[in-house]
Structure 1
Amino acid sequence: MITDEILNSVRRVHFIGIGGSGMYPLVQILHAKGYSISGSDNNETETLEAVRKMGITVYLGQRAENIKDAELIVYTAAIMSDNPELIAAENSGAYVCERAELLGLVTGWYNSAVCVSGTHGKTTTSSMLTQIFMCEGVDLSCVIGGKLPSIGGSGRCGKSDIMVCEACEFEDHFLKLYPDIAVILNVDEDHLEYFENLDNIKKSFREFARKAEKAVVANGDDENTMQSLEGLEKEIITFGFGRGNDYSAAITERKGLCTRFELYVRGVKQGEYEIHVPGDHNVLNALAAIAAARYCMVSYEGIAEGLKTFMGAIRRFEKICEINGVTVVDDYAHHPQEISCTLKAAKALDFKRVWAVFQPFTFSRTRLLLNDFVTALSIADKAVITDIMGSREKNTYGIYTEDLASKIEGAVWFNTSHEAADSQTSQQKDFNFGQVVDYLAENVGEGDLVITLGCGDVYKVAKRLAARLGERRS
């Protein structure tokens, strides 16, 4: 485990997987602090190009020699134990840490670190809050789980003492942070391969809230959240639709992607606000951002401008195209509750049919939440399911796409052999995605909305479909 003393004693830092959305903001911050940075990744991306423009050496491909002379090597949880750089790092005598450890120390550098947690909505809320601070003229630092167009990426390094940080509960990573203001959007069952049950999840969120130096901003409508905070001796600021919350909302109009709502602060109407991301869940995200921003003394004018100009983070109901009357949207939703919220928001819009194109992520989540996925995906008019993306896992659960899709009325999937599905090769995935795109291109029609869903690389389906629809038009 690294400490502030260790971090202060090293100057040469190497990042394994430097192009990751969680790594890039840390690279920006450490670079601005004068550290000598290098890094590696396996695929060329826009992020790698941005890193190179900072004067940082980036190696394409991961090899043991890349870590030469590094005093601290940082890796992400996605890096497998047989990674050659990680093996070399552990045998090098240099300090080695997982990204969450470094992020935790960095949050301690700021006097107002707003750490946004919750099973769902972290990236959207962190992005909204960042947009609000930017519109207020605050030169903040931020670490976001997705890309925010207004800052050109997933983070930035500012000169103020304010930081916005997405706080992920995966394997208790958020317990390594040092929040001044801890935001809890909701508490739900996820990552059960680690937590095992909801009670353990609640205990972790309680510990996260306990670490807050100043205040906790919590969803007063969410029973699991409030149970997690029972008896906690902290300043707790609540938000929700219930008028008994410190910050509450009453929706006044829904039109397209725009939702308008009245804001009430401790029961007194403060004004009317608008957001341009659909769904009641995004009104709750906005309330959380408002409450945290007001605690940091942001003006209501800055809040209104930030929310009004926020058009969503990339991969959060991101519009890819509208061609021949077919609209294609991509969304990061990968948990049943997130999928349910996204599809309900989509169904409330004026489309003929809503198509859900879902890539299940990790075998454990698919198996443990199988029936919840069935319920959520059944909200769509049509569901198309890809092969499961195992990510860091092997298929010890014996779960396959057919086990999910066969339980959803009218769902479409493609019969991949179990051996091919387990192989997780790029060639197999590309073939499976091609089958999905072919089917969609032949069957979607004018007035339809197609939403690709998942936290893997299902966005490639959306982009390939957009290209195919463009060819059909020509």
Structure 2
Amino acid sequence: MENKIYHFVGIKGTGMSALALIMKDFGYEVQGSDIDKYTFTQRELEKVGIKILPFDADNIKPGMTVVAGNAFKDDNVEIKSALDQKVEVIKYPELLAQVMSDYTSIGVAGSHGKTSTTGLLAHTLSGIAKTSYLIGDGTGKGDKDAKFFVFEADEYRRHFLAYSPDYLVITNIDYDHPDYYSGIDDVIDAFESEARKVKKGIFIWGEDKHAGKISADVPIYSYGLDDSDYIQAKNIKRTVKGSSFDVYIDNENIGNFEVPLFGEHNILNSLAVIGIGHMEKLDHDPINKELQTFGGVKRRFSEKNVADMVIIDDYAHHPQEIKATIDAARQKYPDREVVAIFQPHTYTRTLALMDDFAEALDLADEVFLTDIFGSIREKQGDITSKDLGDKINKGGRVLTLEDMSPLLDFHNAVMIFMGAGDVQKYELAYEQILSTLNPNQQ
């Protein structure tokens, strides 16, 4: 069995690359294929010697197991080749479901905050017990002797219905993926369906009006800042170093916890982690200790300093995520101007949530927009970034790669580059200009 070869079709995808790393850790031979364009996920694959090939029917050999990424259908050249040769083909969610079945599995679902919460949970549990994990930033670790398996459960196209975890965290429920979901009731229905597959318990942000509608056949524990929450944070102190708070579970004070994280959403994420540890009867002190050493996940409030500027890279691509990121920046840098550079992601999302995007971006001191990053699954439509910019009270000027000069008007400020597409190319162009102008200030 150890000699079995797993070939991942679309191995550079965040979930696929993480699962490939897990299978490699388990002792299997792993390879995969994808587009030639460099992605941030491939570095970890290359570091452990996982081969990445261009798509080619000849990559498929008898005896392999072909793992199909969610974006790939039977007409993909490699999947078609596998089917023609009667080579085993398994979908990514199906393999993940198989892999986690031998462990205490904890899924993290939600419209926003999945990756950050999964990362925080994986980090904390790993410091206390052997833990395997799959994080949606492309990070994966497999340990056959693990007690826990922590994974990100994606609601897109109801993919998470392949999983029946022991525990499920639902960070929130919001309307997103308008190319698939017909409305908020459809989204709630998907989460309800997944909740009914959970075996031991569910943790839900108590102040989320949509998540509050979920019912299931296992206990549901609410976490949040309200007195009605089963797991509650009180006496919150937010400083430029992070956040501290007392935690009450079922009205009993279990201690004061600290996290080197910013924004109210990260307090909520921490409560979910603390709640799971409590239900698994883990000591509170080591949980607190591990929380204090969390360094974050890729593309979530990732910071660097160039010249006199703080530059933040964040995956935020929904209004609620934009609000959370700006809130975190305000906490850490209360005396600096906050500038948002936002790349709208998909025409359908931009159109469906236009007013909400404008409201969220108005929380920044200044706003710049790039052109919309479209999806291969949609038509371009008639909407543009200028339409969004016109709705922002402060105005949202449209940036181009050819002219990044408007950003040079700011000094000693916080520049937040946000988006799920390729907004990093704008960030890189800005950094290069700054470095050229300030060669000795880095």
TM-score (norm: length of structure 2): 0.91
Q: CA RMSD in A?
A: 2.3
Question: What amino acid maps onto 1:113 in structure 2?
Answer: S
- 1:53-452 equivalences under 5 Å are 53-59=47-53, 61-69=54-62, 71-79=64-72, 83-110=76-103, 112-136=104-128, 138-146=129-137, 154-158=139-143, 159-229=145-215, 232-324=216-308, 326-348=309-331, 349-408=333-392, 409-414=394-399, 432-435=400-403, 437-440=404-407, 442-446=408-412, 448-452=413-417
Displacement of 1:304: 0.7
Structure 1 residue ranges without an equivalent (≥5): 1-7, 148-153, 415-431
Question: What is residue 436 of structure 2 aligned with on the other side?
Answer: 471
Do the aligned residues in 2 keep the contact of 1:129 with 1:293 (CA within 8 Å)? no
Do the aligned residues in 1 keep the contact of 2:373 with 2:421 (CA within 8 Å)? yes
Output one character per residue of 1:346-376: Cα deviation in whole Å (capped at 9) or x when no partner.
2344243211111111121111111111111
Do the aligned residues in 1 keep the contact of 2:225 with 2:232 (CA within 8 Å)? yes
Question: What amino acid maps onto 2:220 in structure 1?
Answer: I
Question: What amino acid maps onto 2:379 in structure 1?
Answer: N
Distance 1:79 1:233, change over 3 A: closer
Distance 1:279 1:48, change over 3 A: closer
Partner-residue secondary structure (3-state), 2:398 = coil
Between stretches 174-183 and 400-409, larger displacement belongs to: 400-409
Displacement of 1:410: 2.2
Supply the distance in 2 between the matched residues of 1:79 and 1:40 (Cα, whole angstroms). Answer: 12
Question: What amino acid maps onto 1:411 in structure 2?
Answer: G
Do the aligned residues in 1 keep the contact of 2:168 with 2:198 (CA within 8 Å)? yes
Do the aligned residues in 2 keep the contact of 1:105 with 1:178 (CA within 8 Å)? no
Displacement of 1:450: 0.5
Do the aligned residues in 2 keep the contact of 1:107 with 1:178 (CA within 8 Å)? no
Supply the distance in 2 between the matched residues of 1:390 and 1:116 (Cα, whole angstroms). Answer: 27
Supply the distance in 1 between the matched residues of 2:162 and 2:16 (Cα, whole angstroms). Answer: 16
Displacement of 1:36: 3.1
- Percent identity of paired positions between Structure 1 and Structure 2: 33
Question: What amino acid maps onto 1:333 in structure 2?
Answer: A
Question: What amino acid maps onto 2:286 in structure 1?
Answer: G
Higher helix share: 1
Which runs of 4 or more aligned residues in structure 1 lie more than 4 Å from their structure 2 counterparts after TM superposition?
44-47, 79-83
Do the aligned residues in 2 keep the contact of 1:13 with 1:70 (CA within 8 Å)? no
Do the aligned residues in 2 keep the contact of 1:75 with 1:86 (CA within 8 Å)? yes
Question: What amino acid maps onto 1:43 in structure 2?
Answer: K
Q: How many residues align?
A: 435
Supply the distance in 2 between the matched residues of 1:295 and 1:197 (Cα, whole angstroms). Answer: 34
Supply the distance in 2 between the matched residues of 1:353 and 1:105 (Cα, whole angstroms). Answer: 48
Do the aligned residues in 1 keep the contact of 2:374 with 2:380 (CA within 8 Å)? no
Displacement of 1:412: 0.7
Supply the distance in 2 between the matched residues of 1:397 and 1:44 (Cα, whole angstroms). Answer: 28
Displacement of 1:120: 0.9
Supply the distance in 1 between the matched residues of 2:63 and 2:316 (Cα, whole angstroms). Answer: 37
Partner-residue secondary structure (3-state), 2:248 = strand
Supply the distance in 1 between the matched residues of 2:426 and 2:102 (Cα, whole angstroms). Answer: 40
Supply the distance in 2 between the matched residues of 1:267 and 1:434 (Cα, whole angstroms). Answer: 57
Supply the distance in 1 between the matched residues of 2:372 and 2:84 (Cα, whole angstroms). Answer: 34
Between stretches 243-252 and 24-33, larger displacement belongs to: 24-33
Displacement of 1:83: 4.5
Structure 2 residue ranges without an equivalent (≥5): none
Q: 1:19 aligns with which of 9, 12, 17?
A: 12
Question: What amino acid maps onto 1:126 in structure 2?
Answer: T
Distance 1:296 1:461, change over 3 A: farther
Supply the distance in 1 between the matched residues of 2:211 and 2:147 (Cα, whole angstroms). Answer: 28
Displacement of 1:73: 1.8
Partner-residue secondary structure (3-state), 1:305 = helix
Output one character per residue of 1:242-301: Cα deviation in whole Å (capped at 9) or x when no partner.
122221002432211411111112112222111122111111111011111222232211
